[in-house]
Amino acid sequence: MPYSMKLKDWVQECANLCKPDSIYWCNGSDEEYQMLVNKMLEDGTFHKLNEETYPNCYLSYSNPNDVARVEHLTFICTKNEKDAGPTNHWKSPDEMKKIMREVYDGCMKGRTMYVVPYVMGPLGAPASKVGVEITDSAYVVANMKIMTRMGQKALDSMKDEYDYVAGLHSVADCNPERRYIAHFPEEYLIWSVGSGYGGNALLGKKCFALRIASWLAREQGWMAEHMLILELETPDGKKSYITAALPSACGKTNLAMMVSALENEGYKVKTVGDDIAWMYIGDDGRLYAINPEAGFFGVAPGTNPKTNPNAIASLHKNSIFTNVALTKENEPWWEGYTKEKPEGMKDWQGKDYSGEGNAAHPNSRFTAPAAQCPCISSEFENPKGVPIDAILFGARRATNVPLVYEALSWQHGVFVGATMSSETTAAATGAVGVIRRDPFAMLPFIGYNAGDYFQHWLNMGKKLGDKAPKIFHINWFRTDEDGKFLWPGFGDNARVLKWIHERMEGKADAKATAIGNVPTPDALDTKGLDVTKEQIEKVLDVNNANWKSELPGMKEFFDKFGDTLPKEMWDEYKALEQRLG
């Protein structure tokens, strides 16, 4: 996986361009972290939170113009435009580099250039990979320390001086007019400028582990996916492993860490990963997954001791909070943390909170070490990863899409993934709540032509044969006429996992519908649940007339691909059309 320049030479080249005052190579030690923290406390980037209740935790505010991923400024820069495909923004590598070089030129004057080597994946795992991020943001370095295996151990993991994915990042003047997140997958290179936030700036995450990695994965026969990985312990004491792809801010962290409502019945959930899965075919022919990350960069709003106690426990020490509100007790707060808003808060820009609007930004986040999660799986560091039994695709849809359904085959499952649609969220800039197609929850993250990506999924299914995981679709967000969620969600989602598990064992009943197999109302365990039978019927309902109205959107999406769309996708489209009558 070689970059074209030796690491030292590339660092020098970046320094020549960005002209920092000094260069600092990160070793990843705790002393170094403390040094960065002290520097950020001094310059006001960090605010220290209540040491008694949130030891070693810090609050940071981003520039108000820089609060989420910027999909309209994210580019896949391949030599041929067709290789980026119809779902990505494209510029030629030469043109993009020319534009960005002007922004990079001298952008680190008066600043330190940090060189951040990091490993994505457990140390020593065959599937793990090294990246090096150059950045002028101490905040980014601190986040990378939590999110990845960072420092000397990454340098030690390199097979030779070329064995890394290169990422150059500068906040520069944080100007939205001069902000670009560019990927050069043919060169194993990422350039990001003008943003210091989340996936725009922590280059190991979406830029490397999804966009560059998905390109590599296609070349090398594996998969890089926007998926949580969870461990499901069942009453027989066995463990099965499930991955789930849900779009940004649609419930991956929550599903991965859920406290099962069916613990008494023997269904328990543990976390292997909450955002990204790298999957490969093992020696036994099964699909295995590792979590390339070492921490959680989780959505704060909605997280509370009831909805996600494990996240709350994870973030109570050694964590960074970005764009949350601050209470009088010097503790972080966000919408949905408590029912009552505390008096006398500062909002996410540090101003006195008036009580109007959001105190925390809707995309405010916590950065917490995965090892602190009470329900982290014992397999989290397993270099082999975990064998996957089921793959779930999920969306945020108020209408039409039932709580859960089972795909009829791998090929049909690929069609279900390819035609996913979901309401947009605050995780990216732009309108919120607009339904858009989001294939495999990867629309913003596929680093190449999505038509080729669908083909790659079909190819992986052929290689896996009868060892392929079963595919399901989930939707926790269906609402009634008054806009209220029909399904309680969170820990009660274990009831859906139970049905999925029993389906795989050939035990649970299902009703065949046009879109796939849906639980019969009796097959879903609703014991102790405070919902009416009518509500359950509603949340499981598949209405053919409504589904027919979904078809034109799918067709319009597929039409964009021309001859890069696998023929099998049209076959499945026609079969669905027929089943709908």
Catalytic residues: 250
d(CA 277, CA 118): 17
Give whichever of 68 and 576 is closer to ligand SPV, judged by the CB atom: 68
389 in contact with Mn ion (CB under 5 A): no
d(CA 166, CA 3): 7
275 in contact with Mn ion (CB under 5 A): yes
Q: Which does 137 bind (CB under 5 to 8 A by kind): ligand SPV, ligand GTP, Mn ion, none?
A: none
Give whichever of 351 and 484 is closer to ligand GTP, judged by the CB atom: 484
Query: Least CB distance from residue 245 to ligand SPV, whole Å?
Result: 11
Give whichever of 169 and 252 is closer to ligand GTP, judged by the CB atom: 252
Question: Between the CA of residue 570 and those of 317, 406, 418, 554, 560, what are the distances in Å?
Answer: 51, 20, 11, 10, 13
Q: Which does 476 bind (CB under 5 to 8 A by kind): ligand GTP, ligand SPV, Mn ion, none?
A: ligand GTP
Give whichever of 478 and 501 is closer to ligand GTP, judged by the CB atom: 478
381 in contact with Mn ion (CB under 5 A): no
Q: Which does 198 bind (CB under 5 to 8 A by kind): ligand SPV, Mn ion, ligand GTP, none?
A: ligand SPV
Query: Least CB distance from residue 490 to ligand GTP, whole Å?
Result: 5
Residues with Cβ within 8 Å of 20's Cβ and at least 6 positions away in sequence, in order, are: 108, 109, 111, 112, 113, 136
288 in contact with ligand SPV (CB under 6 A): no
User: What value, to the nearest 5°, has the Cα angle with vertex 444 and ends 255 and 252?
Assistant: 5
85, 194, 199, 566: which one contacts ligand SPV (CB under 6 A)?
Answer: 199
> How, if at all, do strands 386-387 and 227-233 pair?
unpaired
Helix (H/G/I), strand (E/B), else coil: 26? coil
User: Is the sign of the CA dihedral 89, 91, 92, 93 positive or negative?
Assistant: negative
Query: Least CB distance from residue 315 to ligand GTP, whole Å?
Result: 12
Query: Least CB distance from residue 275 to Mn ion, whole Å?
Result: 4
Q: Which does 199 bind (CB under 5 to 8 A by kind): Mn ion, ligand GTP, ligand SPV, none?
A: ligand SPV
Q: Which does 206 bind (CB under 5 to 8 A by kind): Mn ion, ligand SPV, ligand GTP, none?
A: ligand SPV
Helix (H/G/I), strand (E/B), else coil: 263? helix
Query: Least CB distance from residue 439 to ligand SPV, whole Å?
Result: 15
* Site of interaction with ligand GTP (CB under 6 A): 246, 248-254, 274-275, 298-299, 301-303, 307, 427, 476, 485, 489-490, 493
Question: Between the CA of residue 384 and those of 2, 7, 270, what are the distances in Å?
Answer: 23, 28, 17
Decide if 321 contacts 146 (C-beta within 8 A): no
Place of tokens 């046009």: 514
Query: Least CB distance from residue 298 to ligand GTP, whole Å?
Result: 5
Query: Least CB distance from residue 489 to ligand GTP, whole Å?
Result: 3
* Residues in 290-309 that interact with ligand SPV by CB under 6 A: 297
Looking at residue 220, what DSSP letter applies? Answer: H
How many other β-carbons are positioned within 10 Å of the β-carbon of residue 44?
10
554 in contact with ligand SPV (CB under 6 A): no
Binding string, residues 344-373; x marks residues near ligand SPV by CB under 6 A: ------------------------------
Give whichever of 274 and 423 is closer to ligand GTP, judged by the CB atom: 274
Binding segment for ligand SPV (CB under 6 A), chosen from 186-194, 199-207, 369-377, 535-543, is: 199-207
Nearest to 70 by CA among 189, 194, 210: 194
67, 223, 360, 427: which one contacts ligand SPV (CB under 6 A)?
Answer: 427
User: Is the sign of the CA dihedral 454, 455, 456, 461 positive or negative?
Assistant: positive
Phi-psi label, residue 461: left if phi above 0, alpha if psi -120 to 50, beta otherwise: alpha
Helix (H/G/I), strand (E/B), else coil: 545? helix
Residue 9 tokens, joined:
């030479």
Which element (helix H / strand E) includes 580?
helix 567-580
Half-sphere exposure of 550 (CA within 13 A, CB side): 24
206 in contact with ligand SPV (CB under 6 A): yes
169 in contact with ligand SPV (CB under 6 A): no
Question: Between the CA of residue 113 and those of 140, 183, 243, 281, 444, what are the distances in Å?
Answer: 12, 21, 37, 39, 28
Query: Least CB distance from residue 231 to ligand GTP, whole Å?
Result: 17
Note the residues at the interface with ligand SPV (CB under 6 A).
Answer: 69, 198-199, 205-206, 248, 275, 297, 427
Residues that bind Mn ion (CB under 5 A): 248, 275
